[in-house]
Amino acid sequence: MDFFRKSSIASIVLLGLLGCSSPDSSVTIQPADVAAEPAKKVLAEDPYLWLEEVEGEQALGWVKGQNNRTLAQLQANPVYAGLEAQALDIVNSSERIPYGSIRNGEVYNFWQDATNVRGLWRKTSLESYATDQPDWDTIVDFDALATLENKNWVYKGADCYTAKDIANYKCLVSLSDGGKDAVTVREFDLSAKQFLSDGFTLPEAKSGAEWVDYNTLLVTTNWDGDGSTLTESGYPSVVKRWKRGTPLEQADTLFTASKTDVGAFPFTLDKADGSKVEGVVVAPTFFTREYYLFSGADVVKLPLPEQSDLVGLYEEQLFFTVKQDWTVSVDGTDILFKSGSLLAMPFVVSSSITQATIPEVVFEPNDRQAIEDVTMTKGQILMTLSDNVVGNVFAITKGKSGWVSTKLDLPANGTLSVSFADPDEDTVFVNYEGFLTPDSLMSYSASTGKVSTLKSLPSWFDTDDLVVEQKQVASKDGTLIPFFVIHKKGIKHDGNTPTLLYGYGGFQVSMRPSYNGLRGKLWLERGGAFVLANIRGGGEFGPKWHQAGLKTHRQVIYDDFIAVGEWLIDHKLTSPEHLGIQGGSNGGLLMGVMLTQRPDLWNAVIVQVPLLDMLRYHLLLAGASWVGEYGSPDVPEEREWLEAMSPYHNFHAATDYPEPFFVTSTKDDRVHPGHARKMAKLFEAAGKPFLYYENIDGGHSAAANQQETARRVALEFTYLTEKLMTE
């Protein structure tokens, strides 16, 4: 979305941790005084540390050589040109849904196509938006801006503010150089459609900013530009209040987190009168939160559990979800709240819970449900619920006898997500999609309850002879793991179906049914099968599904994925010769583990923007922020597990591996490209076949524009064709 609207305070942290970068992606971040002796030993013994020099001459020379070799091989395949052409048709098509945000009766959208490679920020009226051909008014042409300023700008969103009942928006626009998570922030006047030469400006860094009023921001950034105010994870630790017209360096310090915290991020709570309550959320670990409010000269810590996500204020109630079983003791009475529940409590600025502020249960999911998202619209709370990996949206209001949850009349048996909601707007945008059902964007009126379809995607591939099935398999410990299978109707179970198995398994990220025109056209329509595994580590069944695989318990995640692969082979949907796997980021780590633990099960492995060196991951870029997920190499018990699991340290030259395809990005300043580089180098040194492609631009998505996306996808499906579709 072009307007950066937080659906919950928790998303400020997630966007900070998942959507920011190191202060300098050209160097390896090594936190001072935290590397234990074993880590120093790894430094001394690793012969390929030079590949961690992101833009080092020797490293880039190796990268370019591998790129040339891989491109020459895959692009020479006769199937490549056709796949790329089909991919370009899809990504550049004007028949896409222009998702947007509503402000004062106008819809704002960011749009990229073959002509507008870097994209347009544009707007139209809500009435025009509902037509087939909206009348768009361009706000910023980012291609023109990049040319004018001689910058490789990639638009990363805008956070806009206006006073209550006034349509005078000022925006903080985030611009990335080449697609990095690091951004430059510049103030923009939405009415005048221009950047303000004397407005708020933040230099490139890992920054967070929250509007308090037109003349005041809460800011966290790389103060002084030398890294001295960053945490050991490389995130900001100091929050300041910055007044318009004063130098940034004169901003008033409000809060300083510990160096050992992951980071500190400012937030505000919107009160009914339009005023804001100022605060900061501290992440001691990736999954824990501490919420502080600024009350005059005092800093007050809210009495919430460490595993909780703050949503915001509604009818003087503070809404939040809990990701742990939480016991509240008041006047000698203990009250238990179940992990995964949505709660509300009367809002007061206090560090303790009293009889008057005991939380209420708004919604408590069962063991096969998970609250995916909670947003606020005018007069309602909206809750997106996953029920056995099928989506529903509920409107929550306060009734005479308590909170009332009403299921919205939306399409069933697919994935539903609220793409836009705002406490000041009556209209909500909801997206629906399924594996074989193109996206539909619907509007929902909070005041009338009316639901109408605004936009629908065309079908990009033939679905008439395809079928979707949901299966489950017992993992090694007996836990039932669900997964989806999409394939041609009436296929023979003879082990010959080319099959792509996808997984992620981490950070409570749910893998839900989604429509993917590229996958459908370039794979399913050509006879391939696709399998989506809902393994532990994700959020499909709430916090406990995720927490089951944390740190030294992580093998259950890998056992789950292996169990799905073995089911596909045992039921003769496919065979190892025709089974490929794919995953990115944390899913890239999953792919690396599958390479080293069960190389016999697959014939193709696409390893995208991966973590692979698990004894040094915490020293590279944002890696230190993930020790809550993986464990720390500086803790002996956790290091022992990491060393036993780490793909980079479990590669053996004598083992027969399938030929992997490593895909990463030079500009990825979240997961260091050195992971993929070094693992690929092991294959090269052992004389084993592998493919490697590193996009020089593109950030963690490994693509900065639609053309690069089309090329990367065409390369991947050409590789899968070579490995899985040939006899």
Angle at 666 between CA 662 and CA 669, to 5 degrees: 105
Say how far apart CA 22 and CA 150 lie, in whole Å. 23
Say how far apart CA 14 and CA 8 lie, in whole Å. 10
* Phi, psi of 320, rounded to the nearest 5 degrees: -160, 160
Q: Which two tokens stand for residue 533?
A: 């595994």
Closest alpha carbon to 441 in 433, 453, 427 = 453
Task: Return the active site residues.
Answer: 585, 700
User: What burial class does residue 40 get, using C-beta atoms within 10 Å of its C-beta: 0-12 exposed, 13-18 middle, 19+ buried?
Assistant: exposed
Say how far apart CA 130 and CA 57 lie, in whole Å. 52
User: What burial class does residue 716 get, using C-beta atoms within 10 Å of its C-beta: 0-12 exposed, 13-18 middle, 19+ buried?
Assistant: buried
How far the first Cα of the chain sits from its last, in Å, is: 44
The full length of the chain comes to 727
Running DSSP on this structure, what letter comes out for residue 459? P
Say how far apart CA 455 and CA 467 lie, in whole Å. 25
Angle at 258 between CA 256 and CA 260, to 5 degrees: 150
Torsion angle in degrees (nearest 10) through CA of 672, 677, 678, 681: 180
Q: With contact defined as beta carbons under 8 Å apart, do 723 and 603 qualify?
A: yes
Closest alpha carbon to 487 in 504, 502, 500 = 500
Say how far apart CA 540 and CA 546 lie, in whole Å. 8
Give the three-state DSSP class for 231.
Answer: coil
Task: Specify which residues 399 forms β-bridges with.
Answer: 402
Say how far apart CA 376 and CA 331 lie, in whole Å. 33
Give the three-state DSSP class for 255.
Answer: strand
Running DSSP on this structure, what letter comes out for residue 524? G
The residues, ordered by sequence, that sit 6+ positions from 135 with a Cβ below 8 Å of its Cβ are 124, 125, 128
Three-state SS letters, 552-575: HHCHHHHHHHHHHHHHHHHCCCCC
The residues, ordered by sequence, that sit 6+ positions from 403 with a Cβ below 8 Å of its Cβ are 344, 360, 362, 363, 396, 397
- CA distance to 73, 148, 504, 511, per residue, from 565 (Å): 28, 51, 14, 17
Q: Which two tokens stand for residue 148?
A: 């004018």
Q: What does R_g of the chain's alpha carbons equal in angstroms?
A: 25
Task: Specify which residues 175 forms β-bridges with.
Answer: 155, 184
Give the three-state DSSP class for 647.
Answer: helix
Running DSSP on this structure, what letter comes out for residue 699? G
CB atoms within 10 A of CB 352: 10
Return left, alpha or beta for 313; rule: phi > 0 is left, psi -120 to 50 is alpha, else beta. beta
- Return the residue matching tokens 């089911």: 567
Q: Which two tokens stand for residue 214?
A: 């037109």
